[in-house]
């Protein structure tokens, strides 16, 4: 019988408006905060996604640091969530769990159409995400990712490979959680004319600076951030400006068609800034913000990540504590967007939206 | 497959749309799988029709040299009606950008209905038609199984917002507030600087911020219309201007009101508001005071701003200086991309 055909189009007997759904097979690399939020979103919105977009995501496999769970017939998302909550290891998934299996195994053993990369990578090498994504592309899979380190490192070769394979690479959740709600790349390709960007895209450093200007010591501020689960145990990447730098590289390569690497960013963290300096500035009506900046002078594009001093009524000065924001300077004026901290959810929805768009854009193959 | 577009109205939005078209054919095809051609374009003199596709550069040239599309070489038709055009054109999309009328909604409403009747997807930026007749237009589109998109009619920066996954799945919206009328915002802003209202209004007139029909700006109706559009766009509320019960402009605000607010470290703003009260959307156009460090207070006089409160995601605050026809034209393109995605998802 035509089993393959039955797999792609399944007749649904539900009373939903949509009678049939396109089944899209996916695999997930990384099952931390974002991965979990994603699985939850897919499970929770299954009916709505089917109704609105006529498609259903079928998760064939997922990998975390313990190994993988992999089934050709799709995993049970509720069960997966239970296992992860109970043991913390997807390899404990009954029957289909495999200790020590890797993302490569998922890619080799399934014919998934989309690889969701929600893992994290080393900021300098971009690994293991970069290799995983290259592998996925060579297996003819579309990629959606929130792996900023891998993307900052390998955007050029990833996008080249994607073009070569005629598959899509989308990453709206990478640059920062402010962007996903803004379809910025569409407008840029329609002539938005972005000529510069200033952004507060790192929650930890912004929180620490905000609290220090309220009079808290650096140490207290970092502790608070850690207690709230925003700051890493080693907050150096955040406080030294590397996380922000990474996001600027992605934005410049993506929106300004640049070819930048992390080394091209002028990076200065907030670690040397003292409470005294911050207070002194405050008396003059000025505040410090840890800003990522992309400026253009003639043909040259400059990337910086540094504590910027500004007057208190500037848009970025109003971005406090856990808020994030981006200010786009465009040919016809500024656009400013500020969002509030919402955990891993925005990134998960970013992945979901990218995937839905891909299904809606890909050429009928 | 290459899609045919009929465009009705060839003012600034239509011409900007053509310019976008002109430069980006390859990019649109590669990035979004969009292949399209303009098969008919109408202005008040008639139009040009060619099912093989009209050359965008020639359209712009004819419009700028004679101002009349019916002068288009070979394909120009003097005085041709919308009905005849739709019958002759081999098209899938109707871009409705005719001039807007807030009292009658015409000719936008009739144009859209005729397009729907012919089975075309509708993309429109026609505020008047949408504010007055959205529920009826939507029903007609549903019955004919076509899509109607209208983010280009929403004030910037809203069209930039992704309207798909976030509001639909992730973040159910609870409340929207927006400073969306440039004229009222300018006048109030100048009053906060100590200028009296008459003078500020005159300045606004000179800066061409005041509409031909000043009541729209000064009595709050423009904001009310925009909130109706937003209610339909963001909440699928199915409302018209008649559903806005509470419309107040800046007519009653005096310099001393502004001074009193300032003494309490507050700013008065003219805003539109939408609130989701257990599924019922309440619309308002009125004056509200904001703390001095609120993003609405810190905005430039020429900016528009919006706050969207969503459960589970806090508040998204956006503002922009973008104005004029280019953002609307881009938004219409965005709608077209969206419709194509939908069609592919539905296997068309």
Report pLDDT digits (tens) over A22-60.
899 999 999 999 999 999 999 999 998 888 888 899 999
Please give the structure tokens belonging to residue A82.
Answer: 């239970």
Those residues whose C-beta lies under 8 Å from the C-beta of residue A325, and which sit 6 or more positions away, are A178, A199, A200, A315, A316, A319, A336, A337, A338, A339
Q: Nearest 5°: phi and psi at B67? A: 80, 0
**Mean pLDDT score, A97-111:** 96
Q: Which domain holds residue A331?
A: 181-340
- Are residue A224 and residue A143 in the same domain, yes or no? no
Chain A partners of B162 at a C-beta cutoff of 8 Å?
A: 180-183, 353
CA distance B172 to B174: 6
Domains in chain A: how many in total? 2
Q: Which long-range contacts (CB under 8 A, 24 or more apart) does A319-322 make?
A: A319/A200, A319/A206, A319/A289, A320/A206, A320/A210, A321/A206, A321/A207, A321/A210, A321/A211, A322/A203, A322/A206, A322/A207, A322/A228, A322/A230
Q: Do A313 and B298 touch (CB under 8 A)?
A: yes
Closest chain B residue to A354, measured at CA: B165
Helical axes A242-255 vs A148-165, angle rounded to 10°: 20
- Are residue A305 and residue A354 in the same domain, yes or no? no
Determine contact, residues A352/A55, Cβ cutoff 8 Å.
no
Q: Do A360 and B342 touch (CB under 8 A)?
A: yes
The maximal CA–CA distance of chain A, rounded, in angstroms, is 78
Chain B partners of A349 at a C-beta cutoff of 8 Å?
A: 165-166, 169-171
Please give the structure tokens belonging to residue B135.
Answer: 């529920």
- Are residue A350 and residue A336 in the same domain, yes or no? no
Note the ipTM here: 0.91
CA distance B300 to A335: 12
Q: What is the pLDDT of residue B347?
A: 66
CA distance A51 to A48: 5
- Are residue A101 and residue A225 in the same domain, yes or no? no
Q: Do B160 and A340 touch (CB under 8 A)?
A: no
Between residues 161 and 200 of chain A, which touch chain B (CB distance below 8 Å)?
180-184, 186-187, 189-192
Query: Which region among A324-328, B211-215, B273-277 has the lowest average model confidence (pLDDT)?
Result: B211-215
Please give the structure tokens belonging to residue B313.
Answer: 């995601």
Interface test with A, best of B165, B167, B304, B317 (most A CBs within 10 A): B165
User: Tens of pLDDT along A73-95?
Assistant: 999 999 999 999 999 999 999 99
Q: Pick from B162, B318, B330: which is nearest to A336 by CB? A: B318
Q: Do B333 and A332 touch (CB under 8 A)?
A: no
Q: What is the pLDDT of residue A57?
A: 96
State the pTM of this model.
0.90
Please give the structure tokens belonging to residue B101.
Answer: 């009328």
Q: What is the pLDDT of residue A106?
A: 95
CA distance A308 to A228: 25
User: Tens of pLDDT along A178-230?
Assistant: 666 778 888 888 888 999 999 999 999 999 999 998 889 999 999 999 998 88
CB neighbours of residue A80 within 10 Å: 22
- Reported residue count of chain A is 365
Chain A partners of B314 at a C-beta cutoff of 8 Å?
A: 339-342
Task: Check the CA dihedral B158-B309-B247-B229 and report its sign.
Answer: positive
- Are residue A192 and residue A56 in the same domain, yes or no? no
> Smallest CA–CA separation between B19 and chain A, in Å?
10
- Are residue A219 and residue A236 in the same domain, yes or no? yes
Output the CA angle B99-B100-B103, nearest 5 degrees: 140
Chain A partners of B31 at a C-beta cutoff of 8 Å?
A: 189, 361
Could you give the 3-state DSSP secondary structure of residue B98?
A: coil
Determine contact, residues A237/A280, Cβ cutoff 8 Å.
no
CATH number at residue A308: 3.30.360.10
- Are residue A77 and residue A217 in the same domain, yes or no? no
Per-residue DSSP letter, B161 = B
Q: Do B32 and A186 touch (CB under 8 A)?
A: yes
CB neighbours of residue B171 within 10 Å: 22
- Are residue A235 and residue A323 in the same domain, yes or no? yes
Q: Pick from B295, B333, B342: which is nearest to A338 by CB? A: B295
Could you give the 3-state DSSP secondary structure of residue A182?
A: strand
Q: Do B321 and A334 touch (CB under 8 A)?
A: yes
- Are residue A136 and residue A186 in the same domain, yes or no? no
The mean pLDDT value of chain B amounts to: 92
CA distance B134 to B175: 21
Chain B partners of A179 at a C-beta cutoff of 8 Å?
A: none
Question: Pick the residue with more confidence: A12 or A48?
Answer: A48
> Smallest CA–CA separation between B311 and chain A, in Å?
10
Query: Which region among B17-26, B56-65, B279-288 has the lowest average model confidence (pLDDT)?
Result: B17-26
- Are residue A159 and residue A186 in the same domain, yes or no? no
Residue bearing tokens 């990474």: A246
Those residues whose C-beta lies under 8 Å from the C-beta of residue B144, and which sit 6 or more positions away, are B116, B117, B119
User: Tens of pLDDT along A143-183?
Assistant: 999 999 999 999 999 999 999 999 999 998 887 666 667 78
Q: Do A353 and B324 touch (CB under 8 A)?
A: no
- Interface contacts (A, B; CB < 8 Å): 146
Q: What is the pLDDT of residue B193?
A: 93
- Are residue A146 and residue A222 in the same domain, yes or no? no
CA distances B69 to A363, B47, B115, B317, Å, are 35, 5, 20, 42
Q: What is the CA radius of gyration of chain A?
A: 22
Chain B partners of A346 at a C-beta cutoff of 8 Å?
A: 170, 313
Closest chain B residue to A45, measured at CA: B169
Per-residue DSSP letter, B241 = G
Q: Give the model's confidence band at B164: pLDDT under 50 very low, under 70 low, under 90 confident, else very high.
A: low
- Are residue A216 and residue A163 in the same domain, yes or no? no
User: Tens of pLDDT along B123-154?
Assistant: 999 999 999 999 999 999 999 999 999 999 99
Q: Do B340 and A360 touch (CB under 8 A)?
A: yes
CATH number at residue A23: 3.40.50.720
């Amino acid at each position: 019988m035509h089993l393959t055909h039955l797999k792609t189009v399944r007749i649904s007997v539900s009373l939903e408006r949509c009678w049939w759904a396109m089944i899209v097979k996916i695999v997930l690399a990384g099952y931390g905060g974002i991965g979990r939020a994603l699985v939850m979103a897919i499970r929770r919105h299954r009916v709505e996604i089917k109704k609105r977009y006529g498609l259903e995501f079928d998760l064939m496999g997922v990998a975390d640091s313990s190994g993988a769970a992999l089934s050709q017939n799709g995993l049970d998302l509720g069960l997966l969530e239970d296992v992860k909550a109970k043991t913390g290891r997807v390899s404990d998934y009954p029957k289909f769990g495999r200790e020590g299996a890797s993302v490569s195994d998922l890619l080799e053993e399934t014919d998934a159409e989309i690889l969701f990369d929600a893992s994290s990578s080393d900021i300098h090498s971009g690994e293991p995400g970069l290799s995983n994504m290259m592998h996925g592309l060579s297996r003819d899979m579309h990629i959606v990712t929130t792996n900023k380190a891998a993307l900052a490192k390998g955007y050029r070769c990833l996008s080249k490979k994607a073009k070569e394979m005629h598959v899509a690479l989308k990453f709206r959740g990478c640059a920062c959680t402010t962007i996903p709600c803004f379809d910025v790349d569409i407008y840029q390709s329609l002539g938005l004319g972005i000529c510069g960007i200033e952004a507060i895209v790192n929650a930890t450093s912004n929180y620490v600076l905000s609290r220090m200007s309220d009079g808290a010591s650096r140490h207290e501020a970092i502790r608070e951030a850690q207690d709230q689960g925003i700051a890493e145990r080693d907050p150096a990447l955040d406080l030294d400006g590397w996380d922000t730098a990474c996001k600027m590289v992605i934005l410049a390569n993506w929106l300004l068609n640049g070819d930048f690497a992390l080394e091209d960013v002028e990076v200065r963290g907030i670690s040397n800034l003292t409470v005294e300096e911050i207070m002194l500035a405050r008396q003059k009506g000025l505040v410090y913000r840890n800003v990522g900046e992309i400026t253009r002078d003639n043909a040259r594009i400059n990337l910086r990540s540094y504590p910027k001093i500004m007057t208190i009524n500037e848009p970025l000065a109003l971005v406090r504590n856990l808020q994030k924001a981006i200010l786009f300077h465009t040919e016809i004026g500024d656009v400013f967007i500020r969002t509030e901290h919402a955990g891993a959810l925005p990134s998960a929805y970013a992945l979901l939206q990218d995937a839905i768009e891909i299904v809606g854009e890909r050429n009928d193959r | 497959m290459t899609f045919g577009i009929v465009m009705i109205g060839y003012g600034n939005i239509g011409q900007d749309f053509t310019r976008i078209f002109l430069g980006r054919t390859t990019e649109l095809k590669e990035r979004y799988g969009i292949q399209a051609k303009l098969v008919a374009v109408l202005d008040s003199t008639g139009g040009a029709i060619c099912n093989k596709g009209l050359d965008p550069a020639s359209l712009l040239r004819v419009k700028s040299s004679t101002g009349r599309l019916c002068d288009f070489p070979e394909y120009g038709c003097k005085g041709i009606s919308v009905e005849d055009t739709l019958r002759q054109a081999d098209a899938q999309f109707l871009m409705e950008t005719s001039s807007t009328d807030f009292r009658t909604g015409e000719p936008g409403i009739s144009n859209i209905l005729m397009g729907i009747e012919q089975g075309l997807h509708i993309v429109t930026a026609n505020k008047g038609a949408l504010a007055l007749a959205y529920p009826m237009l939507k029903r007609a589109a549903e019955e004919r199984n076509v899509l109607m998109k209208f983010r280009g009619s929403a004030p910037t920066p809203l069209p930039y917002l992704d309207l798909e996954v976030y509001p639909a799945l992730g973040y159910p919206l609870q409340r929207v507030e927006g400073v969306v009328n440039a004229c009222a915002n300018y006048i109030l802003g100048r009053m906060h600087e100590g200028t009296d209202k008459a003078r500020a209004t005159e300045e606004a007139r000179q800066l061409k911020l005041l509409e031909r029909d000043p009541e729209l700006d000064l009595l709050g109706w423009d904001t009310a219309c925009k909130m109706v559009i937003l209610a339909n766009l963001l909440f699928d509320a199915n409302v018209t201007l008649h559903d806005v019960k509470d419309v107040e402009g800046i007519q009653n605000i005096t310099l001393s009101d502004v001074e009193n607010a300032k003494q309490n470290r507050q700013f008065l703003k003219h805003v539109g508001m939408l609130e989701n009260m257990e599924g019922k959307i309440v619309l308002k156009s009125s004056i509200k005071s904001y703390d001095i460090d609120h993003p609405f207070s810190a905005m430039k006089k020429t900016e528009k701003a919006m706050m969207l409160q969503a459960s589970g995601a806090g508040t998204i605050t956006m503002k922009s200086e973008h104005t004029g026809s280019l953002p609307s034209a881009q938004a219409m393109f965005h709608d077209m991309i969206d419709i194509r995605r939908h069609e592919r998802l539905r296997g068309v």
